[in-house]
Amino acid sequence: SDVGAQKDRVVTEEEWLQKWEMGNIGFHKEQGHPLLQKYLDLLLNGRSGLRIFFPLCGKAVEMKWLADMGHSVVGVEVSEQALKEFFSEHNLPYCEEPVPEIPGGALFQSTSGNISLYCCSIYDLSSSIVGKFDGVWDRGALVAVNPCDRQRYVSLMINLMEKNSSYLLVTVLYDPNKHKGPPFYVPESEVKSLFG
């Protein structure tokens, strides 16, 4: 495989914000992702009241699903528009507050308290700010991260995981010479070497 074709590609935060402004968000799934339904038991493993993390969350409706099941959901997203759309599209009242540890960042929290969405770059987070998680839903996240940042992203994710946590990862398979991404092509061999 020739992942080299995408190795140096960089999508800036500004470009992501523009995608949201233009409504160029083909990645958003209004009905949620069938693979989360399919593998939900692997994520939960019979446990209740989990802390579930959604890296690069967009306005993923799966956050509402898991919150409705009684879990507490934390997400991170650079686009404030995405987070506001999430709360308004689900008619969820929320409040917004600054995050002292993250200059320019903000926390959008449902009034009920079980959905906390950070508006900042994922690289601004650490376990001292958000704590650790029992489960991760990574769809459109590892594959959206710039290839040069993958190692940094994965190290952070590993840091944010509790001992007995589960991590569901969705990747896409295609010929990286034919599309520039995102989503980027992350072959299984690389997933294995990244996560160990």
125 part of the interface to ligand SAH, by CB under 6 A: no
129-148 per-residue burial string, b: 16 or more CB within 10 A, e: under 16: bbeebbbbbbbbbbbbbbbe
Q: What one-letter code names the amino acid at 34?
A: P
Among 115, 117, 141, 157, contact with ligand SAH (rule: CB under 6 A): 141
130 part of the interface to ligand SAH, by CB under 6 A: no
Q: Which stretch binds ligand SAH (CB under 6 A): 38-46, 105-113, 134-142, 188-196?
A: 134-142
| Cα gap 170→73, rounded to integer Å | 18
Among 50, 56, 73, 157, contact with ligand SAH (rule: CB under 6 A): 56
179 part of the interface to ligand SAH, by CB under 6 A: no
Closest by alpha carbon to 10, among 184, 176, 175?
184
- Residue closer to ligand SAH, measured from CB, 80 or 162: 80
27 part of the interface to ligand SAH, by CB under 6 A: yes
Among 50, 78, 168, 186, contact with ligand SAH (rule: CB under 6 A): 78
140 part of the interface to ligand SAH, by CB under 6 A: yes
- Residue closer to ligand SAH, measured from CB, 115 or 144: 144
64 part of the interface to ligand SAH, by CB under 6 A: no
119 part of the interface to ligand SAH, by CB under 6 A: no
Measured in whole angstroms, the distance separating CA 129 from the mean position of its chain's CA atoms is 16
76 part of the interface to ligand SAH, by CB under 6 A: yes
139 part of the interface to ligand SAH, by CB under 6 A: yes
Q: Which stretch binds ligand SAH (CB under 6 A): 39-47, 83-91, 95-103, 116-124?
A: 116-124
8-22 per-residue burial string, b: 16 or more CB within 10 A, e: under 16: eeeeeeeebeebbee
Closest by alpha carbon to 162, among 137, 138, 135, 139?
135
| Interacting residues toward ligand SAH by CB under 6 A | 16, 27-28, 56-58, 60, 76-79, 82, 121-123, 139-141, 144
